[in-house]
Amino acid sequence: AQSVTQPDIHITVSEGASLELRCNYSYGATPYLFWYVQSPGQGLQLLLKYFSGDTLVQGIKGFEAEFKRSQSSFNLRKPSVHWSDAAEYFCAVGAQDSSYKLIFGSGTRLLVRP
């Protein structure tokens, strides 16, 4: 069965520091992978997605993610975090019967120190 693991529940970084949020997935074939961000009480905004091709994916707000098949990972990175990046981040994989049905990880809450 497909699953997504985000091992870090919380991460705190200083403003201006680099960020990496971890995501591991379990999937039988080539996955469709996504990163979403959620502000408190809000819906989800797509940061980036991977379907095929270049394994380094660029997204909005300066985020990028790298697909590593050998490690079953799709970690999210940002070179310099801004205070406005504080939010909940979800990694997701498209379900095998429909890539539009998403299986989400448990989320990582990012806190930014001034």
Partner 1 sequence: GAVVSQHPSRVICKSGTSVKIECRSLDFQATTMFWYRQFPKKSLMLMATSNEGSKATYEQGVEKDKFLINHASLTLSTLTVTSAHPEDSSFYICSAKGAGGRGSCTFGSGTRLTVV
Structure tokens given for 6: 């985000």
Q: Which of residues 81-110 bind partner 1 (CB under 8 A)?
A: 90, 94, 98-107
Closer by beta carbon to partner 1, 70 or else 98: 98
Contacts of 105 (CB under 8 A, 6+ apart): 4, 5, 6, 23, 90, 91, 92
Closer by beta carbon to partner 1, 19 or else 50: 50
Query: Any contact of residue 114 with partner 1 (CB under 8 A)?
Result: no
Measured from the Cβ of residue 95, the count of other Cβ atoms closer than 10 Å reads: 16
Binding site for partner 1 (CB under 8 A): 32, 34, 36, 41-46, 49, 51, 90, 94, 98-107
